[in-house]
């Protein structure tokens, strides 16, 4: 499904051309502006992506997540990027995986595990929009879950949307986060939205992807920062 390469680098941000990532500065007069793009037309991820739990790699111009069972944790990547409201666009294919998560965090927020604020999760049968801030990753609730030996039901603050996703097919996702609401679109069709107070947490420090299962593929990641009202 390839695609022209977007490998323009803003050298003022100190990114080398090797990274193959577009990052754009924002002026005071800006409205909505693309602040991050990556089409993975290179061999190495570079410094812009922080890999928290391996293993991610670039293969044939795509970002590929391979969960390693011995690590007992899904793969995790993060991109430092401050925002309040934003639109996230990317292509994905579940391939031989169980789930893909777009995760939004505030690394300075201490009342949620790992600073998790909210997420959108894709699996072969459903899409889930979650408030992590006040839900499953709120620190006291998460600790209670761990103290139980992970045997109790987790407190979930989310919306579950039935949606069949063919693992062999590429899809285009568009996630719109405005205030305390997230709307999810797949292939230009809105499939649902969810409003919850924790989603409106006033600061976000980064976004990233987590993958569950053998192989999940991503491409053409683009983030547009939206002007706050």
* Residue segments in the chain with a per-residue pLDDT below the cut of 70: 1-30, 53-54, 69-74, 228-229
pLDDT tens string 138-185: 999 999 999 999 888 889 999 999 999 999 999 999 999 999 999 999
2 within a domain of the structure (yes/no) = no
- pLDDT reported for residue 185: 98
The β-bridge relationship of strands 33-38 and 204-226 is: antiparallel
Write the CA distances from 67 to 27, 125, 183, 214, integer angstroms. 39, 20, 28, 5
- pLDDT reported for residue 55: 79
| Residue 60 phi, psi (nearest 5) | 55, 45
At which residue do the structure tokens 């800006």 appear?
A: 30
What's the pTM value of the predicted model, to 2 decimals?
0.85
4 within a domain of the structure (yes/no) = no
CATH number at residue 55: 2.60.120.560
- pLDDT reported for residue 15: 37
- pLDDT reported for residue 22: 58
168 within a domain of the structure (yes/no) = yes
Range of the domain at 207: 11-226
Domain count across the chain: 1
1 within a domain of the structure (yes/no) = no
24 within a domain of the structure (yes/no) = yes
139 within a domain of the structure (yes/no) = yes
Cβ 184 vs Cβ 118: under 8 Å: no
Alpha carbons 4 and 206: distance in angstroms, whole number: 26
106 within a domain of the structure (yes/no) = yes
- pLDDT reported for residue 54: 65
6 within a domain of the structure (yes/no) = no
């Amino acid at each position: 499904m390839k695609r022209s390469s977007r490998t323009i680098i803003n050298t003022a941000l100190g990114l080398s051309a090797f990274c193959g990532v577009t990052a754009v500065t924002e002026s005071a007069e800006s409205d909505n502006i693309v602040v991050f793009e990556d089409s993975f037309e290179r061999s190495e991820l570079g410094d812009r992506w922080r890999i928290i739990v391996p293993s991610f790699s670039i293969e044939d111009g795509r970002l590929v997540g391979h969960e390693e069972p011995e690590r007992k944790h899904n793969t995790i990547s993060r991109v430092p990027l401050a925002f309040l409201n934003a639109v996230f666009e990317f292509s994905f294919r579940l391939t031989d995986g169980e789930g893909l998560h777009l995760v939004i965090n505030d690394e300075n927020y201490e009342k949620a595990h790992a600073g998790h604020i909210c997420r959108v999760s894709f699996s072969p049968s459903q899409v889930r929009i979650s408030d992590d801030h006040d839900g499953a990753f709120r620190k006291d609730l998460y600790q209670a879950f761990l103290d139980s030996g992970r045997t109790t039901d987790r407190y979930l603050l989310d919306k579950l949307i039935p949606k069949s996703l063919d693992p062999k097919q590429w899809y285009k996702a568009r996630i719109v986060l405005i205030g305390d609401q997230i709307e999810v679109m797949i292939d230009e069709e809105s499939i649902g939205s969810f409003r919850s107070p924790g989603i409106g947490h006033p600061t976000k420090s980064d976004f990233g992807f987590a993958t569950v299962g053998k192989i999940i593929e991503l491409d053409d990641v683009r983030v547009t920062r939206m002007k706050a009202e």
